[in-house]
Amino acid sequence: MQMHETQQVKEVYSPQEANQLLKQGWILLTVVAVTNPKVQNPVITVPCYIFGQTASAP
């Protein structure tokens, strides 16, 4: 999938959520390290899984 074909983007922060999206046909675009938006103190760096889907996806 090319970036210009992406119609929808979704971010998730757990491997379980990421695996669920893969099963639903989403395509993993990248994984980046981010500060967890759900935890403010202490600051924790976690993986952010970024998925894309085309308009023709199921």
Reported as a single tens digit per residue, the pLDDT across 23-52 is 999 999 999 999 876 677 777 888 999 999
Total residue length of the chain? 58
Confidence of residue 58 (pLDDT cuts 50, 70, 90): low
Q: What is the CA radius of gyration of the chain?
A: 13
Task: Give the pLDDT of residue 37.
Answer: 67
Confidence of residue 57 (pLDDT cuts 50, 70, 90): low
